[in-house]
Amino acid sequence: MQKNIVFEDSHIIVVYKPAGIATQTARLGQQDMVSELKNYLAAKAERAVPSAPYLGVIHRLDQPVSGILVFAKTKQAASCLGRQIADGVFRKYYYAVVHGRPEREQGRLEDYLYKDGRTNLSRIVDQGFPDAKRAVLEYSLIETLMVLEPWQETSLIKISLLTGRHHQIRLQMANAGMPLLGDHKYGSEQDRQLSREIGLKNVALCAYRLQFRHPAAGGEVCFEQTPEEEIFRPFFNREI
């Protein structure tokens, strides 16, 4: 677990979650970040009487998505970070690899999303739809590369998430004609076929940057990490 820790003090712990690992799960025998962190913190504290250390879950990433997460180590820190999310001052930035090249190099997507609890899928609906929630993000094209033969375009997109809805990036980008590679829930059959051909098992989405006010010191802090997954390497490593 220590190799995944980006930053730690007495108030927060910031970690990099690899794709394929759940943020938190109740399934027996399945690895998740919360359990791993609690084990790490308990071992670090060398407690004489076994007890679970406090770990506040502030936000989550889907299991097939990688990236930076911040957890609170005190209830006060959790409350402060929760308020920042509610007030919109907790900022999250992502890299995504999409199939094709966007028609517009930058833009803003604003939709209303409804989560179907029975299928664990979201869909875009009209504003007046019951339980619909406003979803907003901004994106910009970083670079387009070609893969496989016959050559197909794939693009690295930078995304600023302005609201945090269920599967928001995956759904909004697919709806706007920019489906994420590896996304078998919202991509088309053509997208899924390309993902299979390049051996991609997880969603090509990484939360590479978090920006918020430190819950104790009060100043703005920013944590950033280059995506580790292979699908991102051609865009960041020119030796490949």
Give the pLDDT score at 42: 87
Give the pLDDT score at 239: 44
User: What pLDDT digit, counting tens, does each position of 170-215 carry?
Assistant: 999 999 999 999 999 998 898 899 999 999 999 999 999 999 999 9
Give the pLDDT score at 43: 84
Give the pLDDT score at 25: 81
Instruction: Identify the top-confidence range among 44-53, 123-132, 141-150.
Output: 123-132
Residue where the block lists tokens 């009060």: 218
Dihedral pair phi/psi, residue 153, rounded to 5°: -85, 140
User: Is 62 a known active-site residue?
Assistant: yes
User: What pLDDT digit, counting tens, does each position of 98-133 carry?
Assistant: 999 999 999 999 999 999 989 999 999 999 999 999
Examine the pLDDT at 1 and tell me if it is beyond 70: no
Examine the pLDDT at 150 and tell me if it is beyond 80: no
What whole-number percentage of the chain has pLDDT above 70?
A: 94
- In residues, how long is the chain? 240
pLDDT (mean) for 151-166: 94
Least confident range of 40-54, 66-80, 165-179: 40-54
> What is the residue-wise DSSP string for the chain?
-GGGEEEE-SSEEEEEEPTTSBSS---TT--BHHHHHHHHHHHHHT-SS--PPP-EE-----TT-EEEEEEESSHHHHHHHHHHHHHT-SEEEEEEEEES--SSSEEEEEEEEEEETTTTEEEEE-TTSTT-EEEEEEEEEEEEEEETTTTEEEEEEEEEESS--TTHHHHHHHHTT-PBTT-TTTS-HHHHHHHHHTT--S-SEEEEEEEEE-TTT-SEEEEE----SGGGHHHH-TT-
Least confident range of 46-60, 137-151, 173-187: 46-60
Q: Are strands 205-213 and 220-224 parallel, antiparallel or unpaired?
A: antiparallel
Q: Which of 9, 32, 62, 191 is catalytic?
A: 62
User: Can you give the C-alpha Rg of the chain in angstroms?
Assistant: 19
User: What pLDDT digit, counting tens, does each position of 219-233 carry?
Assistant: 999 999 999 999 999
Cα end-to-end span (Å), the chain: 28
Give this prediction's pTM. Answer: 0.92
Examine the pLDDT at 49 and tell me if it is beyond 80: no
Examine the pLDDT at 240 and tell me if it is beyond 50: no
